[in-house]
């Protein structure tokens, strides 16, 4: 963890923990995840993101189910200084093509069953693709299992989108699932 002031949302949330062994997450199936374990998992994923070429200010697009692994991915993107772009799992390939080509992420994370179609779209903007399924399995977590748990949180300024807890990557307002930007 960082000990210096940092506007990065991850630092704001985790740098001043009084007890990292305290419970952070309890899953429906009874898994208990401490803050220390959560931070370690985030560090591993952040290391993979950086190894895949994600730089501060880049976007990481993710079409993943809601899960602990999805939360870890979000926190890792923020910790690495990237902006996180969540993509609705109901989006079609046509809709995904619009969002991915418009946002130009450096990395797209999706369910393994969608990797081929999303990979073709990601290739149009030079983005790499990693996979993550609803159970937390995929190429992203396989790589993370081999990565260091240590990661120095990327410093961000107060006016940086990646430091803003209200910014989740959407940069144009839309109305309805199939709407075009206004």
DSSP assignment of 89-112 equals TT--HHHHHHHHHHH--SEEEE-G
Q: Is residue 1 part of a domain?
A: no
Task: Measure the CA–CA gap between 48 and 145, rounded to whole angstroms.
Answer: 10
Q: Which two tokens stand for residue 65?
A: 């189910």
Q: Is residue 171 one of the residues assigned to a domain?
A: no
CA–CA separation, 73 and 60 (whole Å): 9
Per the structure, the complete domain to which residue 87 belongs is given by 9-160
How far apart, in whole angstroms, are the C-alpha atoms of residue 130 and residue 141?
Answer: 9
How high does pLDDT run on average in the chain?
88
Tens digits of residue pLDDT in 144-181: 999 999 999 998 887 766 555 555 444 444 444 444 44
Q: What total of structural domains would you count in the chain?
A: 1
Where is 25: in which H helix or E strand?
Answer: strand 23-26
Q: Is residue 151 situated within a structural domain?
A: yes
- Which CATH number goes with the domain that contains 19? 3.40.50.12780
Judge whether 95 lies within some domain. Answer: yes
Q: How confident is the model at residue 7 (pLDDT cuts 50, 70, 90)?
A: confident
pTM here?
Answer: 0.86
Question: What gap in Å lies between CA 87 and CA 161, rounded to an integer?
Answer: 18
Looking at the domain assignment, is residue 140 inside a domain?
yes
9 pLDDT band, cuts 50/70/90, is: confident
pLDDT in tens, 102-137: 999 999 999 999 999 999 999 999 999 999 999 999
Residue 179 lies in a domain: no
Q: CA dihedral in degrees (125, 84, 142, 67; nearest 10)? A: -130
Whether residue 178 lies inside any domain: the answer is no
């Amino acid at each position: 963890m960082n000990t210096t002031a940092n506007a990065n949302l991850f630092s704001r949330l985790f740098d001043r923990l009084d007890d990292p062994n305290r419970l952070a997450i309890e899953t429906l199936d009874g898994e208990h995840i401490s803050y220390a374990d959560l931070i370690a998992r985030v560090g591993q994923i952040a290391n993979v993101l950086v190894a895949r070429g994600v730089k501060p200010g880049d976007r990481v697009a993710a079409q993943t189910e809601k899960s602990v692994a999805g939360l870890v991915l979000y926190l890792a993107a923020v910790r690495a200084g990237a902006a996180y772009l969540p993509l609705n799992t109901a989006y079609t390939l046509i809709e995904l093509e619009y969002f991915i080509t418009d946002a130009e992420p450096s990395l797209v994370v999706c369910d393994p069953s969608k990797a081929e179609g999303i990979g073709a779209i990601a290739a149009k903007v030079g983005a790499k693709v990693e996979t993550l399924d609803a159970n937390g399995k995929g190429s992203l977590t396989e790589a993370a299992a081999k990565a260091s748990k240590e990661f120095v949180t990327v410093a961000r300024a107060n006016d940086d989108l990646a430091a803003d807890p209200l910014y989740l990557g959407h940069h144009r307002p839309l109305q309805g699932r199939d709407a075009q930007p206004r």
